[in-house]
Amino acid sequence: MPRFRLTIEYDGGPFVGWQRQANGRSVQGAIEEAVFGVTGARVTIRGAGRTDAGVHALGQVAHLDLTRDWPGDRLADALNAHLRPAPIAILRAEAVAGDFDARRSALRRHYRYRIVNRRAPLALDAGRAWRVGRPLDAEAMHAAAQRLVGTHDFTTFRSTDCQARSPLKTLDRLDVARYGEEIVIEASARSFLHNQIRSFAGSLELVGEGKWSASMLSAALDARDRRFCGPVAPPDGLYLLRVDYPERLSPSGRS
């Protein structure tokens, strides 16, 4: 069975999240329906990350198996035609080795969280960023964020609904930078806990406001207690940017 890797962009606003659920429309379900429309086959696609309701993606990755081979560009075009008008786009469809697994093969996941730091409401970015009207110190946020980089027990920044076996994770990168009125938080790790980045963003916002110091953020981490976390930032500002894989599992060139 030919296996294909899909690179996917979507606006998470209208969906209950990536994962298929009984309580509403999911990104996964919409793509599976498009696959059925194109091929007549019911398949299950596997994604690299289970983004929550309202969370967006610029480079989600999924894989699926089909009964026959397809040119990658034709498959992507056909799926996009069936996905309209849903805010989902298949950016690329590429043939990959049979042992490629979008979730298990991933080496690193990269996320971005966007804060628009201004008093005026959002017109163009409504639903796609978190507006914070109070002035924020992005340099203080970045300095504090470095306290979280490395291998830690992240219980404080983990949803009570998280199903991960262990709260121990290695955070490779957590950078904060200001670009005009926008503050961008970027995080990289092999994997993340449920709500981990939104929990980081909400706590770092308190640092930016001057309500928390870097030492207070460290104390919250060391507490290993969810009650010490700052408010969880809204999903609107969170984006799955891209996913890294071993070079040997890169597309085979039949795209």
Judge whether 8 and 88 are in contact, CB under 8 Å.
yes
Among positive and negative, which fits the CA dihedral 149, 153, 157, 161? Answer: positive
Decide the pairing of beta strands 238-244 and 56-65. parallel
Q: Tokens representing 54?
A: 């309202």
Burial letters 196-227, b for 16+ CB under 10 A, else e? bbbbbbbbbbbbbeeebeeebbeebbeeeebe
Paired with 168 in beta bridges are: 153
d(C-alpha 216, C-alpha 83), whole Å? 46
Burial of residue 94 (number of CB atoms within 10 Å: 0-12, 13-18, 19+): buried
Catalytic residues: 52
What does 135-151 look like in DSSP terms, one character per residue? ---HHHHHHHHGGG-EE
Residue type, 21: Q
Judge whether 34 and 82 are in contact, CB under 8 Å.
yes
Q: Tokens representing 164?
A: 């991960």
Q: How many residues does the chain have?
A: 255
- Report the SS3 class of residue 121: coil
